[in-house]
C-alpha cells in the first residue's frame, strides 16, 4: 500500500513498500492531490502486476553488466567477444548511465557517431545488439518498462547497411600467398592455406584435423561431428563440434592435394595435421598476424622483417579462402547441391536438399576442375615468379559462410 507524506510547505512525497521488506519514496510533488493520484496509480499497477519500481531503474549500465554477465551460459569465445565490446564501446558511453535514462534517440545519436568514426556496419550492429540484449533482460527483470532500442523502422533514418564485397583470390594468387607463408613459417603454413582454398574448410576444421581423419588412400578428409573443430577463447583451446550439423562431412581431395599431404605427413610426425613447428595447436590471431597477414598484404613497409613479402591480395582473410573455393566451384559449373555438401551448408530449399544427390561423375568433374586450377596456377607461378600488382574484382555469385 502506498501513502503520501508532506515534507515541506508545498512539497509532498509518496512512500511505498518495495517488496523486499524495505520502503522507498518518490518526492517532487507540489500538491497533495498529485501525490495521492500517484500513490493510487502505484496501488492499481501493483494489483495488475504491472508496477515497476522507478528506483530499480537507477542501477547503472555498468552495475547491470556485472550482474548480467555473471548469469550468461555461452561459449567462452562468445563471452570474450561480449566483454571486449562492453569494455571498448558500451561502458565508455553508457557505463555510468542509469538504465531508465537510456533513450532511443540517445542511442541513435551514439550509433551515428560510431558510423562517423568509421566502424563497419557489421561492427556497429554487433555493438548495438549487445546493448539491446542487456536492456531486454533488464526489462524482463522489471528494472525498466521496455527495451527502447529494439529493432524497428523509423522515419528519418537512412538505411546504412551496405554489403561490402567479399575479398576472394584466384588459384594463382592463393599459390603465391601460400609460397610466401611457407617462407614465413615453414611448409605447414603454406599447405594449410592451400588446403583451405582447395577444400573450403573453415579455420577450426583444419587446425583441429587429426591424422586419423585423413584417408589419403581414398582421397578424403573427414570433419568429425563431435570433435571436428578446434575452438579457442582468449586463454584456452579445445576440440568440439564444427559450426553446424551439416559441417560434419567428408570432403574429396583433388589428386595434387593428396600428394602434397602425403609427402608432408611423412615428415610431420605429430597427431594433428596443421600445427606450430613445435607441434602444438595454432592460435588463430597469431597465425594471422605473423603469417597470413604478411603473406597476403605484404610487408614491404617493415624494413626489419626477417622475410620480405609482396602484396598479393590485400584484404583477403582466412575465411576469404572459403569464399574463394565457393567462387571457383561456381565458375566451374558445380551444381548447388555439390557446393553445399562440400562446404557443409544446408540449402534453403530443404526438399531439393533431401532429394538431391551428388553423382560420382559430378564429383569427379568437380575434382578434375580443382586439379586443373592447381596445374594452371602452378605453371603461371613457375613461369612468372614475381606477382603482378593486385587487382580489384567482384565476387562471382553468393559466397559461403
Q: Between 377 and 391, whose confidence is greater?
A: 377
pLDDT, position 353: 47
CA-to-CA distance for 17 and 47, rounded, in angstroms? 14
Give residues with Cβ within 8 angstroms of 122, minimum separation 6: none
Listed residue (208, 173, 163) closest to 193, CA to CA: 173
- Torsion sign over Cα 250, 256, 259, 262: negative
Q: Average pLDDT of 61-84?
A: 90
For domain 171-383, the CATH architecture is Orthogonal Bundle (1.10)
**pLDDT tens per residue across span 104-134:** 889 999 999 999 998 888 899 999 999 999 9
CA-to-CA distance for 335 and 362, rounded, in angstroms? 8
CA-to-CA distance for 124 and 30, rounded, in angstroms? 44
Question: In whole angstroms, how far apart are CA 46 and each of 16, 17, 37, 109, 347?
Answer: 11, 11, 14, 35, 50
pLDDT, position 229: 96
Asked if residue 70 has pLDDT above 70, the reply is yes
Taking the whole predicted model, whether its pTM rises above 0.75 is answered as no
| Percent of the chain clearing pLDDT 90 (strictly above) | 57
**pLDDT tens per residue across span 203-248:** 999 999 999 999 999 999 999 999 999 999 888 899 999 999 999 9
Q: Between 249 and 144, whose confidence is greater?
A: 249
Q: Between 300 and 88, whose confidence is greater?
A: 88
pLDDT, position 15: 81
Listed residue (303, 307, 323) closest to 315, CA to CA: 323
Asked if residue 396 has pLDDT above 60, the reply is no
CA-to-CA distance for 41 and 26, rounded, in angstroms? 13
pLDDT, position 16: 75
Q: Average pLDDT of 333-356?
A: 74
pLDDT, position 140: 86
**CA angle at 317 for the pair 224 and 334, rounded to the nearest 5°:** 60
Listed residue (127, 121, 377) closest to 254, CA to CA: 377
CA 168 to chain centre: 18
Which cell goes with 350? 530443404
pLDDT, position 77: 82
pLDDT, position 46: 63
**How confident is residue 355, by pLDDT bands cut at 50, 70 and 90?**
very low
SS3 category, 11: strand
CA-to-CA distance for 377 and 373, rounded, in angstroms? 6
Q: Find the length of the chain.
A: 401
pLDDT, position 202: 97
pLDDT, position 158: 55
Which of 136-140, 210-214, 313-317 has the weakest average pLDDT? 136-140
Give residues with Cβ within 8 angstroms of 397, minimum separation 6: 326, 327, 330
Which cell goes with 321? 579462402
**pLDDT tens per residue across span 1-57:** 777 888 888 888 888 776 666 777 778 788 888 888 877 776 676 666 655 666 677
pLDDT, position 45: 65
Asked if residue 356 has pLDDT above 60, the reply is no
Listed residue (220, 392, 371) closest to 313, CA to CA: 392
pLDDT, position 162: 52
**pLDDT tens per residue across span 148-175:** 876 544 545 555 555 566 899 999 999 9
CA-to-CA distance for 155 and 174, rounded, in angstroms? 46
Listed residue (362, 385, 98) closest to 252, CA to CA: 362
**pLDDT tens per residue across span 179-197:** 999 999 999 999 999 999 9
CA-to-CA distance for 2 and 231, rounded, in angstroms? 54
Q: How many C-beta atoms surround the C-beta of residue 21 within 10 A?
A: 6
For domain 58-140, the CATH architecture is Orthogonal Bundle (1.10)
pLDDT, position 342: 94
Q: Between 393 and 76, whose confidence is greater?
A: 76
| Percent of the chain clearing pLDDT 70 (strictly above) | 86
Amino acid at each position: 500500500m502506498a501513502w503520501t507524506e508532506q515534507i515541506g510547505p508545498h512539497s509532498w512525497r509518496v512512500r511505498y513498500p518495495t517488496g523486499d521488506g524495505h520502503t522507498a519514496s518518490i518526492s517532487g510533488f507540489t500538491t497533495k492531490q498529485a501525490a495521492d493520484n500517484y500513490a493510487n496509480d502505484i496501488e492499481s499497477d501493483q494489483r495488475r502486476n504491472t508496477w515497476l519500481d522507478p528506483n530499480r531503474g537507477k542501477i547503472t549500465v555498468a552495475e547491470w553488466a556485472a550482474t548480467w554477465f555473471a548469469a550468461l551460459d555461452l561459449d567462452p569465445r562468445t563471452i570474450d567477444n561480449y566483454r571486449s565490446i562492453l569494455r571498448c564501446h558500451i561502458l565508455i558511453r553508457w557505463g555510468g548511465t542509469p538504465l531508465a535514462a537510456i533513450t532511443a534517440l540517445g542511442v541513435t545519436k551514439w550509433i551515428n557517431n560510431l558510423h562517423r568514426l568509421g566502424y563497419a556496419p557489421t561492427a556497429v550492429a554487433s555493438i548495438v545488439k549487445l546493448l539491446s540484449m542487456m536492456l531486454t533482460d533488464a526489462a524482463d527483470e522489471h528494472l525498466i518498462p521496455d527495451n527502447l532500442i529494439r529493432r524497428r523502422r523509423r522515419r528519418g533514418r537512412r538505411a546504412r547497411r551496405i554489403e561490402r564485397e567479399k575479398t576472394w583470390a584466384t588459384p594463382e594468387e592463393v599459390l603465391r600467398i601460400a609460397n610466401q607463408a611457407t617462407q614465413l613459417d615453414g611448409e605447414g603454413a603454406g599447405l594449410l592455406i592451400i588446403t583451405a582454398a582447395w577444400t573450403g574448410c573453415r579455420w577450426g576444421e583444419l587446425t583441429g584435423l587429426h591424422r586419423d581423419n585423413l584417408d589419403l588412400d581414398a582421397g578424403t578428409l573427414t570433419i568429425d561431428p563431435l570433435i571436428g573443430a578446434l575452438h579457442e577463447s582468449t586463454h584456452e583451446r579445445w576440440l568440439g563440434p564444427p559450426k553446424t550439423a551439416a559441417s560434419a562431412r567428408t570432403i574429396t581431395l583433388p589428386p595434387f592435394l593428396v600428394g602434397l599431404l602425403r609427402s608432408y605427413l611423412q615428415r610431420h610426425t605429430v597427431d594433428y595435421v596443421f600445427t606450430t613447428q613445435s607441434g602444438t595447436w595454432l592460435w588463430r590471431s597469431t597465425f594471422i598476424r605473423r603469417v597470413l597477414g604478411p603473406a597476403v598484404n605484404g610487408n614491404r613497409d617493415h624494413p626489419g622483417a626477417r622475410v620480405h613479402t609482396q602484396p598479393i591480395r590485400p584484404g583477403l582473410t582466412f575465411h576469404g579462402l572459403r569464399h574463394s573455393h565457393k567462387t571457383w566451384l561456381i565458375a566451374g559449373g558445380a551444381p548447388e547441391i555439390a557446393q553445399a555438401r562440400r562446404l557443409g551448408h544446408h540449402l534453403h530449399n530443404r526438399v531439393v536438399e533431401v532429394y538431391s544427390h551428388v553423382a560420382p561423375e559430378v564429383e569427379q568433374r568437380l575434382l578434375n576442375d580443382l586439379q586443373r586450377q592447381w596445374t594452371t596456377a602452378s605453371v603461371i607461378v613457375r613461369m612468372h615468379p614475381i606477382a603482378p600488382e593486385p587487382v580489384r574484382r567482384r565476387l562471382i555469385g553468393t559466397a559461403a559462410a
